[in-house]
Structure 1
Amino acid sequence: MKCLKYGILGGAAISISGCGSFAAVTMNGPFCPYQGVHLDLYVATNWNMIKGSAGFIIPLAIIDLPFSFVADTLTLGSALNASNGTAQCPREFN
């Protein structure tokens, strides 16, 4: 039973790590370098998001920030190749 509990917790931790990066790529495509980090910072500082989640979003965004940084660093080459200098970075999340 203890193994099952740790397995579920580990699976949840792996599945949410870097989710800001995956959400940003899903919304906008792989055009911007470090867009997952930018999304995490936006979520943690947007007053409407904070009010809507009763402040619960702040610790989640802060916990996700280093994972998004790593995921964005690993995909940096594809983001730079996808942009080809055309500056298609939306940089605004709604």
Structure 2
Amino acid sequence: MINSKCGLLGLVFTVLTGCGSLGAAIMNGPLCPYQGVHLDFNAITDWQTILITKGFIIPLAIIDLPLSFVVDTFSLGAALEADNGNAHCPRDYS
């Protein structure tokens, strides 16, 4: 019973955090290497974003950071192939 509650809670947190890699790819089109990690790091350190979300973005981005790192690592080959020097990486998210 406790294991199922913890599993459900983990699933809810994973769904709520979203995926920085997917969000960055949808927002910006072609892939940049590790753009999800860059987007999460920007969400953690950008004061305007922190003030708008009243600090709620910080724990969500911290939870999503290792997940984005894994997804970005798996998609690194496609990101390097799609970049071709024309994607202006790294992007400025501010």
State the Cα distance separating 1:56 from its structure 2 match.
1.0
- Bigger shift: residues 54-63 or 32-41: 54-63
| Distance in structure 2 (CA, Å) of the matches to 1:39 and 1:25 | 10
Mapping for residues 12-91 of structure 1, pairs under 5 Å: 12-16=12-16, 19-89=19-89, 91=91
State the Cα distance separating 1:18 from its structure 2 match.
6.1
Structure 1 unaligned segments of length 5 or more: list them: none
| Distance in structure 2 (CA, Å) of the matches to 1:18 and 1:30 | 19
Amino acid at match of 1:77: G
TM-score normalised according to structure 1 size: 0.80
Q: How many aligned positions are there? A: 94
Structure 2 unaligned segments of length 5 or more: list them: none
| Distance in structure 2 (CA, Å) of the matches to 1:77 and 1:16 | 28
TM-score normalised according to structure 2 size: 0.80
| Distance in structure 2 (CA, Å) of the matches to 1:70 and 1:55 | 25
User: Retained in 2: the 8 A contact 1:18–1:67?
Assistant: no
Change (3 A) 1:7 1:74: same
- Bigger shift: residues 12-21 or 54-63: 12-21
Give the aligned CA root-mean-square deviation in angstroms.
2.4
